[in-house]
Amino acid sequence: MIGSISDPLALNAVNKRYNAGSRNEVHAVKDVTASIDAGEFVVILGPSGCGKSTLLRLVAGLETVTEGEIRLGHTVLNELEPARRDIAMVFQNYALYPHMSAFDNMAYSLRIAGLPRAEIAARVQKAAAALALSELLERRPGQLSGGQRQRVAMGRAIVREPRLFLFDEPLSNLDAKLRVQARLEIRRLHGQLGRTSLFVTHDQVEAMTLADRIIVMNEGRIEQIGTPDAVYARPATTFVAGFIGAPPMNLMNGRVEGEHLFLDGVALPLPMRPPRQGPIMMGLRAEAVRAGDTQWLFEAELVEHLGSQQHVHGRLHGQAFVISRSNDGPLVRPGDRLGLSFDPQAIHWFDAASGSRLSG
C-alpha cells in the first residue's frame, strides 16, 4: 500500500447537463479540461453551486457524463460502473454503518471483494496505525468523536488501495480545531500513500494548505488552475482575486486617463503606467497597502481585531476597501482618514468587462 504506483487523471471537455434539451436544462459542468499528474493532490475549490461536487461525482461514476471523457491512466471511465473504477471516496457525512465496529466498517469492502481474512486484518491494522485508530477499532461510530469517525471513513478508503482517492468536503462537519488536525493528517497520509487525489472544498484555507495545485471553479467552469502561491499571487480573473485571500483582494472600478486612475471623479496618480487606457479594474491586496502622505485617501468605518493584525474596512474614494495592519503600530479607529501608498508591483489590472487579468 505505502509508496505504490499511482495513475494520472485526465478530464477532457467534460460536460454535465441535467434535463438536457428541455426548457429546464441545467448545465452544471461546462467544458472542464484538466490533467492531474500521478500522485498529485489537487483541490477543486469554489462556492456552493459551482459544479465542484458534481465534477467529483462524475469521476466517481455516481453521475453520468453528458459529453467529454474521463480517463484514469489508460482506462476510460465513462461507461464503467463505480465499483469497477478502482476509486475510493470519502464523503462529508462519513457514511459509516452504525451497527458495525470501526474495524468492521474499514474491512467491509474487502470482505465483499472476498479477500482472505489475514490480508483484511493486515490492511486494516496498517491503516489504523497510520490514522492513530489502533486502540479504537472495537468501538462503534456512536462511541467515537467526529474527528475519529472521519478518520475511520478515511481508513475505509485507504484499505482498498485504490488508484484514485476522492474527498467530498470531508472536513466540513468538524469544529475548527479538529479541521486543522485533520488537514495535517490528510497531507501526511498523502505523503505516505502517494496516490492521485481530488479533494473538493469551498474553504480556501483547506485548499491553500492541502493542494499541490488548485482548480478554481465558478458557475460550472474552470477559472484558473495553479499552485496555491500562483493562484494567490497572480489571479487569472476578478472572480479568483475576490475568492482567494482573507480578506479578498480589493477590486476598484475606475477609468484610466494617462497615468491617473479616476475613481468617482477623483484623479489619482498611479505609480506605474497601466496596461491600457479607458475603463479598467484595479486590484490591491489588503496587506499590500500602507499609510503614506498621498492623494489616495481612505476613511475607516469598521475595525476587526485579529490578534497580531487588524483588518480595517472602509471607503477609498467612494469604493469599499480593506487594509490589513499589524497591531504593533498605531491602531486605526472608525472615522480615521489615512493616505495610502503601495508598491507598483502590488497592483493587479483586470479588464472591466470580462474580468480577465491584463497585467503579467
- Lookup: cell for 217: 471553479
Cβ atoms within 10 Å of 322's Cβ, excluding its own: 21
- Residue 190 CA to residue 245 CA, distance in Å, equals 25
- Residue 220 vs residue 175, higher pLDDT: 220
Which helix (H) or strand (E) element contains residue 106?
A: helix 102-112
- Lookup: cell for 30: 461546462
CA dihedral 126, 132, 137, 142 (to 10 degrees): -140
One-letter amino acid at 32 equals V
pLDDT score of 360: 59
- Lookup: cell for 131: 490514522
- Lookup: cell for 219: 458557475
- Residue 320 CA to residue 154 CA, distance in Å, equals 43
pLDDT digits (tens, 9 = 90+) for 287-319: 999 888 889 999 999 999 888 888 999 999 999
Could you give all domains of the chain from N- to C-terminal order, each with its CATH number?
9-237 (3.40.50.300), 239-350 (2.40.50.140)
Of the chain, the percentage scoring pLDDT greater than 70 comes to: 98
CB–CB of 185/202 below 8 Å?
A: no
pLDDT digits (tens, 9 = 90+) for 146-168: 888 888 988 998 898 899 999 99
Measure CA of the first residue to CA of the last residue in the chain; give whole Å.
43
